[in-house]
Chain A
């Protein structure tokens, strides 16, 4: 453990010194970076390295894997991809991310920020405050509010009954939809803020001249406005996807992954395997899969930023 931590910074140091100036002066200039690098090596790089190691062992908190940890190669991954519960978790994570982030938060956030440009100030402030209010609430509190909202005796059913539709216990009947809606409620503010900032930089003249040329509302939106904020859309999609992939508290507090495993996304499955069932090795293998997915999205995001900057 400690050896990995100590070995990593070494290659970086001589690099900084090779730029022509005296090596020592250059190093001293970079000295303020050390607290940040130290913390990130011990508490971020360390765990990730540990994760890569443990994922290939049978490490456990109890039983054989607790007494003597042995290297078992790809067995954890074989076990995962062969197990119905893991595949179920992957599917639920995909559905959850697609529904709540890519479709829900993204579209609603964009819609809200577009509508806000055309609305009166009072309405704009009211809606802005409500949406941001939902965002500022701590995760667990948001989970309780929405559990109450979706409950059999909750507000949603009262509203449905009022218009003559049948109600049901949504957390029981359609848990993944309920938690996805909850995540939309909680997270839309972020997309709304990103898009509001991006739209405020679109020059009014361009849209006005398109209007003069006879482009209607929708065509103006699709061919003029959206292309101009395409970079913000890309960034926003990446960031909310990454955030949504690792949502734990909201789902855990609302359903604990249930009923059964009907809302058990990857983070909840990992938690259950590693801690409720004490299979640390298997749990870290799942964590590694999540890290890999996150890393891929993060790299795409970086590439996007890089090409834009160049």
Chain B
């Protein structure tokens, strides 16, 4: 019996390891290619590792401006989403109303709608409202697109904060908004951080929305400007592309590590989604 257990454990480890290696291989390519001056398409460790690729892409046009644009765009949208989601979650979580259930069902329904499909009419709307190629308009749309999921998650986290503390505050004459600010929010900051960081990570990788709604090269975020490595110049410089990809990936990687170290974020999210 014990021998069989050991055997099955070994088999599990081996199968897992094999799958893990398949997942790692494409990732290795980007790591090795970024320090290879003559990078090709296969995984190979460079004979003369160099930081030249990073030096070549670290300039205003290629890296600094798109990354800065991305931070403004995604940071602004994530904050706007969060503020609206917290405000909306409070009455939904705290007050009984006939309006709550239909509203929450609508929100949940919206999380399922393919945002890709809405993009054509959104473009039409942006043309009519003169919002095409404006950061403000794009921020508002990106915030709206992630709002349903954010409201749902925030409400789930807020439900976990006991209402008794607020009731005491209400008796003392505190308004709802005061109770929200000084009692509920401090108690649920881990939840807020999870929603905020996940919203941001989703937006940072979003290609389609800024690709459609922003036009001028000087406004494009990193997710779209990465496209300029291809196109007019023919065969792209894979080493520089890899270096740039790493730089562009770094912020979300750090945020994700922060999330999973401090908050067990992914598992919290998995639990929340499972409902």
Contacts and interface: CB of A to CB of B under 8 A. Distances in A.
Nearest to B141: A43
Interface stretch (A71-79, A98-106, A132-140): A132-140
A44 B249 contact: no
Residue among A43, A50, A116, A249 facing the most chain B CB atoms (10 A cut-off): A43
Interface in A23-37: 26, 29-33, 35-37
Contact of B88 (A19, A33, A200, A302): A33
A298 B226 contact: no
Interface string B99-129: 1000101001111111111111111110010
B13 interface: yes
B37 to A, nearest CB: 17
Contacts of B26: 134, 145-146, 148-149, 155, 185
Contact of B25 (A40, A140, A149, A280): A149
Interface stretch (A81-89, A172-180, A190-198, A220-228): A190-198
Contact of B95 (A29, A239, A267): A29
Contacts of B227: 140, 253
B54 interface: no
Contacts, number: 288
Given A123-B16, A131-B20, A32 B98 contact: no
B68 interface: no
A116 B16 contact: yes
B18 to A, nearest CB: 10
Interface string B244-262: 0100110011001000100
Contacts of B17: 123, 126-127
A33 B154 CA distance: 13
A118 B118 CA distance: 44
Contacts of B253: 133, 136
Contacts of A257: none
B27 A155 contact: no
Contacts of A232: 274
Contact of A127 (B19, B27, B115): B19
Contacts of B143: 39
Interface size class of B (residues with CB under 8 A): 35 or more
Contacts of B145: 43-44
A130 B23 contact: yes
Interface in B70-103: 83-85, 87-88, 90-92, 95, 97-99, 103
Interface in B10-24: 12-13, 15-17, 19-20, 23-24
Given A43-B140, A153-B40, A301-B112, A32 B120 contact: no
Interface in B139-178: 140-141, 143-145, 147-148, 151, 176-177
Interface string A133-176: 11011111100111011010111001000000000000000000
Nearest to A194: B270
A287 B118 contact: yes
A265 to B, nearest CB: 10
B208 interface: yes
B256 to A, nearest CB: 5
Contacts of A48: 113, 118, 121
B110 to A, nearest CB: 6
Nearest to A250: B207
Nearest to A232: B274
Given A194-B273, A291-B114, A151 B41 contact: yes
Lowest 6 A-B CB distances belong to which pairs? Answer: A298-B112, A246-B114, A249-B207, A197-B270, A138-B205, A127-B20
Given A136-B252, A155-B26, A253-B207, 6 more contacts: A33-B91, A36-B151, A51-B120, A131-B23, A146-B26, A154-B41
15 contacts: A29-B91, A54-B124, A118-B12, A123-B17, A140-B223, A145-B29, A148-B238, A155-B43, A158-B42, A197-B274, A231-B274, A249-B208, A253-B227, A270-B116, A295-B112
Interface of A: 1, 12, 15-16, 18-19, 26, 29-33, 35-37, 39-40, 42-44, 46-48, 50-51, 54, 59, 108, 112, 115-116, 118-120, 123-124, 126-127, 130-134, 136-141, 144-146, 148-149, 151, 153-155, 158, 185, 193-194, 196-198, 200, 217, 231-232, 235, 238-239, 242, 245-249, 252-253, 267, 270-271, 274-275, 280, 283-284, 287-288, 290-291, 293-295, 297-299, 301-302, 305, 308
Interface of B: 8-9, 12-13, 15-17, 19-20, 23-27, 29-30, 33, 40-43, 83-85, 87-88, 90-92, 95, 97-99, 103, 105, 108-125, 128, 140-141, 143-145, 147-148, 151, 176-177, 201, 204-208, 211-212, 222-223, 226-227, 238, 241, 245, 248-249, 252-253, 256, 260, 266-267, 269-271, 273-275
